Amino acid sequence: MNDLKNLCTQVRRDIVRMVHAVNSGHPGGSLGCTEYFVALYGEIMEYNAANFDMDGKGEDLFFLSNGHISPVFYSTLARNGFFKVDELNTFRKIDSRLQGHPTTHEGLPGVRIASGSLGQGMSVAIGAAEAKKLNNDNHLVFSLHGDGELQEGQIWEAAMYAAGKNVDNLIATIDANGQQIDGSTDDVLPMGDIGQKFAAFGWDVMTIENGNDLDSVIAGLNEAKSRTGKGKPVCIIMKTEMGAGVDFMMGTHKWHGVAPNDDQLADALGQLSSTLTDY
């Protein structure tokens, strides 16, 4: 567990360094979802990083729907052996496999879907989950979505379908940070009780109250796994803090898609001192 907590700190260092290096990218949501990614890839999912293939038979699958938080995704993939950690140096550069928003055509191991256009990942995850059933593969499909992303209509078509077709091998997590690109979700478009909405569509809904506490995230994901196979897709409302781990990035939407300058990077790294090795 200490190893995974140290890894959270290291992933956060990677995030702010990657975004700073190219003065571009999305640190806020990445920092907020760090515990989720570290838990998912370090403790929860069964996968084969060394021999990645797009079919993914016989392993658990993950689809990132809110693709703009690519820094946390790429760091986690690299730190779990999908590709060399050094490649994080190429983030958002010309001809890099680490595009600002993930794409499949660069062939980066671990990336199964192009995302960034919001609202689409749940549909893909549902299709993959149904394919697993058809293939008699009892592994699970995980997906992650922003709360602001839920304002896309396709999400609710997908939610209706998944419940109607008993896609009960899917665990969709909502990053409930209450923020989106232009402000708080309540200011931009109030959505009411998101959990009640998914429940009304027929999902089994649960909550992770502190999505920035690694133990809580691991316990919550294990609880979600125990709820699969019972006829309903599972939705986790995971409460996080955008910018978690860097004090001046927390509690605001303003770091959704802004890179730190040199002084801000130094400040951030000073707060993330329990390091493994920087790329």
Tally the residues of the chain: 279
| Stretch in the footprint of Mg ion (CB under 5 A) among 3-11, 87-95, 142-150, 231-239 | 142-150
Residue 102 in the binding site for Mg ion (CB under 5 A): no
Judged by CB under 5 A, which of 28, 56, 148, 245 binds Mg ion? 148
Q: Which of residues 171-190 bind Mg ion (CB under 5 A)?
A: 177, 179-180
CA distances to 37, 83, 110 from 64, rounded to whole Å, are: 10, 18, 10
| Stretch in the footprint of Mg ion (CB under 5 A) among 46-54, 82-90, 170-178, 195-203 | 170-178
Three-state DSSP at 1 gives: coil
Judged by CB under 5 A, which of 25, 100, 146, 243 binds Mg ion? 146
Residues 6+ apart with CB under 8 A from 94: none
Residues 6+ apart with CB under 8 A from 51: none
| Stretch in the footprint of Mg ion (CB under 5 A) among 9-17, 50-58, 127-135, 143-151 | 143-151
- Calpha distance 86→279 (Å, rounded): 5
| Stretch in the footprint of Mg ion (CB under 5 A) among 97-105, 124-132, 146-154, 189-197 | 146-154
User: In whole angstroms, how large is the CA radius of gyration of the chain?
Assistant: 17
Give me the least distance between CB of 26 and Mg ion, in Å please.
11
Nearer to Mg ion, 92 or 253 (CB): 253
Judged by CB under 5 A, which of 59, 137, 147, 152 binds Mg ion? 147
Helix spans in 94-189 (H): 121-134, 153-164, 185-188
Of the candidates 49, 40, 113, 106, the residue with the CA atom closest to the CA atom of residue 72: 40
Judged by the rule CB under 5 A, the positions of this chain that interact with Mg ion are: 146-148, 177, 179-180
